[in-house]
Structure formats: structure tokens, C-alpha cells
Amino acid sequence: MDISPAEISGILKSQIENFGVEAEVSDVGQVLSVGDGIARIYGLDSVQAGEMVEFDGGIKGMALNLESDNVGVVIFGDDRSIKEGDTVKRLDEIVAAPVGKGLLGRVVNPLGEPIDGKGPLTDVAERARVDVKAPGIIPRKSVHEPMMTGIKAIDAMIPVGRGQRELVIGDRQTGKTAVCIDTILNQKPTNDAAKSESEKLFCVYVAIGQKRSTVAQVVKTLEERGALDYTIVVSATASEPAPLQYLAPFTGCAMGEWFRDNGMHALIIYDDLSKQAVAYRQMSLLLRRPPGREAYPGDVFYLHSRLLERAAKMGDAAGNGSLTALPIIETQANDVSAYIPTNVIS
């Protein structure tokens, strides 16, 4: 069998021409220490505050503390599979969650992953950053349309407007969640009779630090009454790590904002923000941030103010949408002058 040199050179030439250099360059670091949902990372010199990082096992985290010699990362998942010396890589994206109508009727975790066993999400082409700046003064409009709760005492005495923030505060077992769930259920007749999407009120229920059985009961009630069709449930239960409980309200808010920014109306319920503050306190103390009153960090007021400012009624130029917020705060022994209640009230 004789092969001509021209043939060999032709084969080599075609091989060289079709050779693709698929090299992926990523900024990586090493785990110095890990525990209690917090990892200290050496390296990642160019990481941004609030940026997502990924550990060896596919577990995600968020860079929160940028120090001179290491990076403090909060872990969104079980930290027991992460070891000292593991590599961590940047994902070049700020924490984001899926948004859109495909989430209606679903139960998701704070990363936007479905946890209801109904398969993957569909019709969610977009992803939105979970922690964005609230709308300024110019695109807003004053609150002028009522948001009917369906509870006569509230609608007659202290009506809530679309785009408003109304605090639901009280001790445990005083019916705070019941009032909010009733509000979601009472939207069904209006939504069924609505001729267009802009006449409906879509609902987002964020469960923070609650028992799984309680969340399951709420979802069952919504499903039985036909209210789950226009509701998204974001759940970070008591057994989830503190970073996920901290993230849940921001994820829910991003989902509600999608309706607001597309000329529709949404209602978001945070149940409850006291538990989010406790989770944030835990994270901050583990990251060695200086504690303030009641051991909460100094920016716990900003944590809640930046979240609640995102509930707004938009003007004509911005599509006339709205996001109404009903934050829940649990008091201890009816003390509304404690630190977190006064923060949220103001």
C-alpha cells in the first residue's frame, strides 16, 4: 500500500485547520476554612461583592465580605460536602433568579429551583438580578387605586392601595399569616372576571424560616381553593441554611417586580421578616462583622428598607404596573418598640 506524501500533508493540513482551541479561563480560589454556612476563600482577587461563585460539587455561594487577604462567601446549600483546599471559581454573574409567568402555580427555593416535584420550569426565558435598586421618584406615581383584601374591616377602615407597603405585626398565633393568605384567596373572583392581564392581581408568597408542614399546608389551601394558578410560592424553611433564608425575600421581590415592570399588578407577602433579620445576623456575626443593638449588624435597617422600597406604583411612562408589599413581623410579648419592628415601621 503506497501513500503519497501529498496525501499525508493534505490530511495534516485539514486537521490543523479544523483544530479548535476550546480553552476556558476562569478565576479560581481555594477554600481556607468552612463551617456554619460560611467559607473563607484565598484567591478570587477580582471577585465582586454579591457575585456568585461555584464550589467543586456544584454548590453555589455568594461573595459577601471582600477582605485584604481572603473573601468571605455565604454558601447556598449544604456545606458538609465542601472541604478545606477545594477549588472555587467565579461565575461572573450577580445572584439572579428566573422570572416570568411560568413560575405561577409553582413552589421554588430562593435560587428559583422548583421544589414541588412538578418537573422543571417552563416559559421562563428571563433571569433577573435579585438585589436591584428601587425605582426613583420620577418613574413612580402616587398610590391611587385600591388593592382589595376582601376583608371588610381592612377595606373599610384601613384600605391598602396598589403599590403600598402595609405592615402586618403581632405576636405569634395572632392570625398574621391567615390575614395574608385570605387576601390571596380573595383575589380569585376578581382574577377570574378580569378581561386582561393588567386587571389581575398576581401574588407572591415568601415563606422564611417556617416549618415545612406549615408551608405544605399553605400550598395545599391555595391549591384546593384554585388560588395557586395566580400565585408563586418561594420557600426557605427553618431547616435551610441562613444564606437561603436571607435570600428568599429578594428572590420573591424580583419575581414580583417582573409583573410590576410589565404593566401588571402584583402582591408580595414576606412571612416573616423577623426571621430574615435573624438569618442575616447569623451570617454577619460568622463573617466577623461588628455587631450593634441586639447583636444585629449596623446595616440591618438598610436590609429591610431597600427591600420594601421596591414595592411601588409605576407611572404612565413605566407601564402603570404596581407591586404591593405586606411584610409580616412577629413581636415578642407585644413589644412593637423593639429593634426590628421599629426599623420596618419606619
**Domains in the chain, CATH or no CATH each:** 28-94 (2.40.30.20), 96-345 (3.40.50.300)
Question: Scanning the structure block, which residue is given the C-alpha cell 427553618?
Answer: 238
Tell if the pTM clears 0.85, that is, is over it: yes
pLDDT band at 148, cuts 50/70/90?
Answer: very high
Question: Scanning the structure block, which residue is given the C-alpha cell 440591618?
Answer: 300
Q: What is the pLDDT of residues 273-298, one digit of tens each?
A: 999 999 999 999 999 999 999 999 99
Look up residue 146 and give its DSSP letter.
B
**42 CB-side CA count, 13 A:** 7
- Which pLDDT score is estimated for 4? 79
> Residue 221 corresponds to which amino acid?
T
Burial 235-272 (b: 16+ CB within 10 A, else e): bbbeebbbbbbbbbbbbbbbbbbbbbbeebbbbbbbbb
Partners of 268 in the β-ladder: 204, 325
- Percent of the chain clearing pLDDT 70 (strictly above): 98
pLDDT > 80? residue 25: no
Q: What is the mean pLDDT of residues 69-73?
A: 95
Q: What is the pLDDT of residues 29-44, one digit of tens each?
A: 999 999 999 999 999 9
Contact between 343 and 304 (Cβ < 8 Å): yes
- Which pLDDT score is estimated for 9? 84
Helix (H, G, I), strand (E, B) or coil at 261: helix
Contact between 101 and 126 (Cβ < 8 Å): no
Q: How many CB atoms lie within 10 A of CB 95?
A: 22
d(CA 340, CA 246): 15
- Which pLDDT score is estimated for 71? 96
**240 CB-side CA count, 13 A:** 28
d(CA 117, CA 103): 14
Helix (H, G, I), strand (E, B) or coil at 78: coil
Contact between 266 and 320 (Cβ < 8 Å): no
